[in-house]
Structure 1
Amino acid sequence: MGIIKRQGIQNTVISYAGVIIGYINTVLLLPRILDEELVGLTRLLLTIAVLYAQFSALGFANAGVKFFPYFRDKANQHNNFLVFFLGIPLVGFLAISLLFFLFRDVIINYYIKESPLIINYYYYIIPLGFFTLLFNLFNAYLTSLYKTVVPSFIQDFFLRISITLTILGYSWGLYNFEVFLLLFVVANCSTALCLLVYITWLKQLFIRPELTALKEKPLKSMVRYGLFALLGNISSTIIISIDTMMIGHYLGLGEVGIYTTAAYIASVILIPGRSLYKIALPQIADFWKTENTVALAKLYKQVTRMNLVIGCLLFIGIWANIENMFALLPPQYSQGRYVILFLGLARLFDLATGINGHILITSYRYRSDLILNILLSVLTIFSNLLFIPAYGIEGAALATMLSYVLINLLRLILVWFWFRMQPFDKTSLQIISLAAVSYLAGVALPYLFNTPVDIAIRSALITLIYGAGILFLNLAPELTKKLQSMLLNNK
């Protein structure tokens, strides 16, 4: 757990620094500089590019993390792993690109009524998809090498600073929207190139095609696993992104802009989990390889407890400051209030159920997670078809929440049924109870002076009550020990 805690905390610090910048970009700058339709355009382009990359990857990002322990040998250039790991997805990208050209009219007709603006920038999706694919593959490779801090810095900090500069340049009149969008695409593509430079600097870029090094490696198992992971990843991506894509079809880019801005605020809750998962995933794969289920069960509880502690604080902090959030946004964004609530609850439940999905996808039962994802992607599509026309963007958020709750409940049950592991104990209820008390104290505070002051004092009160309770009751021993260590080292 040592490397997980150390890099997890480093990743979390980087992520939250990125969140501050992302908040400035998403909440303070973009809605005031661009109208909501143009904000929606940037978000929809990125959403489609993510789906493009997932189809192209053929599941190899997951397969690489699971099977890299069988290839790991730096002296032998990791048995030519990287050539195989990158080569198959690049073939997949060419195939998906061909389909992207062939079905252009179908895609355009889907959006032409409510979101015609996206048609003008249709081909921007191709470079975005390609470099998103490369970033995901390089990130998976570095995760397998237990090198997660620099990728986090590039994705969560460097990219967002680049976007900030791009937005400011447009707001100062240095260029028009066409140039702004081009620079926005370049900034998003640059992250993959940064990881390539980092891998080269680590002297881990082994791309000489020597097929003899692969003869005794589990290639067939890796390909088979990758194909199952592909379907699972596509299903997961549908669950995550279909709401944005369908809002663009039914309601238009303006509603996409409002929805995705609210979704970004709620997504802050997931940051501690993402930071821990980056380094926990390869260790889970190693535990399965060595059949160390005792250590895996311990890791399951530790990661879940840390996620729940931080996730609850973030959720109550956001919802206690919901009026302040919308005071900082243009008036039309206030319709995203319950989007934040539903998506916030979905993210919190996803965080609270721990690493159950990662345990399933790296185990010999990985096919079950595929089946769950396929069933739930179908549920997500149909629930969005029903809820978006009836309830607008709030319906999309409700559909997402139901999908997240159901998939994680089923995963939780299966991990317990097959492996006799579950992540909760009495501290889980104590954490939730403490969060409820802290929230009530926060909302009981009257409005203070102005919005920034009110946010600062209200958030400080909630954090003080919640943090004191966590430390006094010792509800998060891992975080308490780390804090004590930091305090002792500073003396």
Structure 2
Amino acid sequence: MGIIKRQGIQNTIISYAGVVIGYINTVLLLPWILDEEQVGLTRLLLTMAVLYAQFSALGFANAGVKFFPYFRDKTNRHNSFLIFFLGLPLAGFLTITLLFFLFRDFIINYYLQESPLILTYYYYIIPLGLFTLLFNLFNAYLTSLYKTVVPSFIQDFFLRILTTVIILGYSWGFYQFEAFLLLFVVVNCSMALCLLVYITFLRQFFIRPELKALKEKPLKQMVRYGLFALLGNISSTIIISIDTMMIGHYLGLSDVGIYTTAAYIASVILIPGRSLYKIALPQIADFWKNENIVALGKLYKQVTRMNLVIGCLLFIGIWANIDNMFALLPKDYSQGRYVILFLGLARLFDLATGINGHILITSSRYRSDLILNILLSVLTIFSNLIFIPAYGIEGAALATMLSYVLINLLRLILVWLWFRMQPFDKTSLQIISLAVVSYLAGVALPYLVNTPIDIAVRSALITFIYGTGILLLNLAPELTKKLQAMLLKAK
């Protein structure tokens, strides 16, 4: 757990520094500099690129993390792992690109009525898809090497700083929107190139083929696992992104802009989990390889407890300041109030259920997670078909929340039935109770002077009450020990 705690905390610090920049970009700059339709265009392009990359990857990002322990041997260039790991997904990208051209008319007709602006920049999706694919593969490779801090810095901080620069350049009139969007694509593509430079710097970029090194490795199992993971990843991506794509079809890019801005605010809750999962996933794969179920069960509880502590604080902090947040946005964005509530609850439940999905996908029962994802993706599509026309962007958020809750409940049940592991204990209820008390204290505070001061004081009050309770009741021993060590070091 030592490396997980250390790099997890480092990743979290980087992520939250990035959140500050991301908040400035998403809430204070983009909505005021671009109109809702232009904001929606940038979000929809990225969403489609993610789906493009998932289809192309053939599940190898997941397969690489699971099977890398069988290849790991730096003196032998990791037995040509990287060539195999990159080669098949790049072949998959070429196949998906061919389909992208063949189905061009269908995609165009899908967005023609409500979101015609996307058609002008249709081909931007191809480079975005390619470099998103490469970033995901390089990131998975570095995760397997237990090198997660630099990828976090590039994705969560460096990318957002560059985005700030090009937003300000557009607002100052240095270039038109067409040039801004081109720079936006270039900046997002640059992440993969940065990881390539980092891997080369680590002297881990081994691409000289040595096919004999692969003969005794579990290649067939890796491909088979990757294909199952592909279907699972596609299903997961559908659950995450289909709402944005269907809003673009039914409501238009302006609603996409409002919805994704609200979704970004809610997504802050996921940061602690995302930071921990990056380093926990290869550890889980090692535990399965060594059949160390006891250590895996301990890790399950520890990661869940840390996620719940930070996730609850973020959720109550966001919802207690919801009026303040919309005071900082253009008036039309207030339509996203209950989008934040529904998606925030979905993200919190996802955090609270810990690493159940990672446990299943790296176990011998990985096929079950595929089945769950397929069922839930179908449910998500149909619920969005019903809720978006009826309730607009709030309906899309409600559909997403129902999907997250159901899939994680099923995963919890399966992990318990098959492996007799569950992540909760009495501290979970104590954490939630403390969060409720802290929230009530925060909303009881009258409005103060102006929005920035009110946010600062209200958030400080909630954090003080919540943090004091966590420390006094010792509800997060890992965080308490780390804080004590930091204070001693500072002295």
| TM-score, length-scaled by structure 1 | 1.00
Is residue 291 of structure 1 aligned with residue 300 of structure 2? Answer: no
Mapping 1:48-197, distance limit 5 Å: 48-197=48-197
Mapping 1:272-421, distance limit 5 Å: 272-421=272-421
Question: Deviation string for 1:282-316 (max 9, x for gaps)?
Answer: 00000000000000000000000000000000000
Structure 1 letter corresponding to 2:150: V
Deviation at 1:350, TM superposition (A): 0.1
Deviation at 1:210, TM superposition (A): 1.4
Question: Deviation string for 1:341-370 (max 9, x for gaps)?
Answer: 000000000000000000000000000000
Question: Deviation string for 1:28-76 (max 9, x for gaps)?
Answer: 0000000000000000000000000000000000000000000000000
Deviation at 1:93, TM superposition (A): 0.1
Question: Deviation string for 1:164-193 (max 9, x for gaps)?
Answer: 000000000000000000000000000000
In 1: Cα distance, 2:319 partner to 2:255 partner: 22
Structure 1 letter corresponding to 2:444: A
In 1: Cα distance, 2:351 partner to 2:46 partner: 24
Deviation at 1:135, TM superposition (A): 0.1
In 2: Cα distance, 1:270 partner to 1:102 partner: 37
Match of 1:225 in 2: 225
Deviation at 1:141, TM superposition (A): 0.0
Match of 1:37 in 2: 37
Secondary structure at the counterpart of residue 121 of structure 2: helix
Match of 2:241 in 1: 241
Deviation at 1:490, TM superposition (A): 1.2
Secondary structure at the counterpart of residue 269 of structure 1: helix
Deviation at 1:388, TM superposition (A): 0.0
In 1: Cα distance, 2:248 partner to 2:212 partner: 49
Structure 2 letter corresponding to 1:188: N
In 1: Cα distance, 2:452 partner to 2:489 partner: 33
Secondary structure at the counterpart of residue 354 of structure 1: coil
Question: Deviation string for 1:233-285 (max 9, x for gaps)?
Answer: 00000000000000000000000000000000000000000000000000000
Structure 2 letter corresponding to 1:400: T
Deviation at 1:209, TM superposition (A): 1.4
In 1: Cα distance, 2:129 partner to 2:24 partner: 25
RMSD between superposed Cα atoms in Å: 0.2
Structure 1 letter corresponding to 2:201: W
In 1: Cα distance, 2:122 partner to 2:37 partner: 16
Question: Deviation string for 1:49-106 (max 9, x for gaps)?
Answer: 0000000000000000000000000000000000000000000000000000000000
Structure 2 letter corresponding to 1:300: Y
In 1: Cα distance, 2:179 partner to 2:131 partner: 19
In 1: Cα distance, 2:422 partner to 2:120 partner: 50
| TM-score, length-scaled by structure 2 | 1.00
Of 189-198 and 207-216, the range deviating more from structure 2: 207-216
Q: Which runs of 5+ in 2 are unaligned?
A: none
Secondary structure at the counterpart of residue 9 of structure 1: helix
Structure 2 letter corresponding to 1:274: R
Match of 1:482 in 2: 482
Deviation at 1:489, TM superposition (A): 1.1
In 2: Cα distance, 1:313 partner to 1:97 partner: 43
Secondary structure at the counterpart of residue 346 of structure 1: helix
In 1: Cα distance, 2:225 partner to 2:208 partner: 24
Question: Deviation string for 1:387-440 (max 9, x for gaps)?
Answer: 000000000000000000000000000000000000000000000000000000
In 2: Cα distance, 1:127 partner to 1:209 partner: 27
In 2: Cα distance, 1:54 partner to 1:371 partner: 17
In 2: Cα distance, 1:108 partner to 1:209 partner: 41
In 2: Cα distance, 1:162 partner to 1:293 partner: 43
In 2: Cα distance, 1:200 partner to 1:386 partner: 49
Structure 1 letter corresponding to 2:191: T
Structure 2 letter corresponding to 1:389: P
Secondary structure at the counterpart of residue 410 of structure 2: helix
